[in-house]
Structure 1
């Protein structure tokens, strides 16, 4: 990997099995260290059965895989390309989304009779010339096993899923371009046709530039709440209000999420039937003039796994957990790194 490139990868805010901790961290390291391109990193993380996207995704109510994905690419001249796909039933949904929009961009590079280029598409409705060949089933034995165990009791209190992993995301920043991709299989037993936060720009990912400071965000957790809050968009447009002389970025971000979340009726509840905010967030702040770079994270989920490159391709992998997981959704933990 070019040492001028910073790459940040997360595999979801959720409730990750401690028994798989070594495997999770190894997966993140492979995305950051062994892959030489952004696209290879996406493939590594989406092809793994450890993540809830592509192969091994959660199954919907009728036992099928439906993934959502979106991407943003920003060049140093301020040019922005973005797009999202929903209902993806082939592997590598993030890569597929970028490839589909490469073809769409080529199709609409001329006036195209005054028609506007689409920014949101349903994969099943895309014409065949936009698609690659189907690469086989996305249903892993583990996902099928969970589905079979819980399908007959999902609507009563005895059907609780103990391990929950959510949306994945990758940011890559070099001297000329910022790329962000997210994808997810959504929640187990979701209604067919449900669109999660990974399929809506501004929810799971967003980026903006304010006074030559580029702010990028990735969110994971309860998709309906993230969508309602338009969370990534809200955070990138408000984080620079933080007064560093009075408080740190982490506390400020938590306050933003909690205050903004109070304006909505949360869809997420805990075991005591209390309304909670169940999210994980990564913000990357890039001061282009001074070359100062910061990563801020916080989460109210029991766990959040992510990693990043820094200091000439050094790799850092973070396994963050709440000190008291009984309070998930009610309290946050946070941290900050200079990259």
Structure 2
């Protein structure tokens, strides 16, 4: 068997591991990168952020560091390490500048990895005895565990009630389990990033519905329009929160409602580019750039979910309530009150 000597071994080739490997290589180290998956599908998250990057300075975009850190800390109710936030604000622009200058401009969307990057190589296959993983210059960079329903049930049972789909089959928790085996500590409190875009069949029971997508970027039940602040009601047909809020706010609010589910009500007229463009949403939910969909794609997505039975269409509120399994009188009252507020 061929024996190769490396200065640095990086386990996990996603965002953090990839940048760690690049940094070590730039400093002259001979680096080996391994990852358990067979390809790079959904390996890297393309949505990253920084302040004071070169392109921001060129565009004269100024962000107050202290104001941002305080806002993020307040948003998290102080349940955050502000030292980590300060490290990000102070230094991550260097990473964004590096990606822009070394990868995007000269190579386009990506650059080819070196020969010393091996996929479908798990830790236990790379280290026969298991002792090698504690050696100096070995780095573990791992993802989450959302694709492992047993681990979600064990570590974050609340997550099973507020999630119906997991969109990354890579996140099976194997990296965390491997790290725990060699003495790492896991955060005591679980955390999840939840988008309010999961469409499920009528009468779904969230206690036994949890699917993992294995065909990214074609995600089952994905309804991009659901992030828009249109009328949303609980399973009693009653409006229960202010829809104009970040994604996960809805999931937290609906977790206080019967069945942990809600229904969004909108009209055909809302589906025009002009109407959708009037909503001041941010990030990937915004129509067009910097969002991810244009009007035609939004309408195609709704039509696909209609054909699958995940979206229901009707000519009257009464008919719609019946299709959704909601109390007719309650939904009629909620829609009437909502229209009154919009009109005023």
TM-score (norm 1): 0.23
Higher helix share: 2
Structure with greater contact order relative to length (CA < 8 Å, sep ≥ 6): 1
Higher strand share: 1
TM-score (norm 2): 0.22
Structure 1 or 2, whichever has the larger Rg, is 2
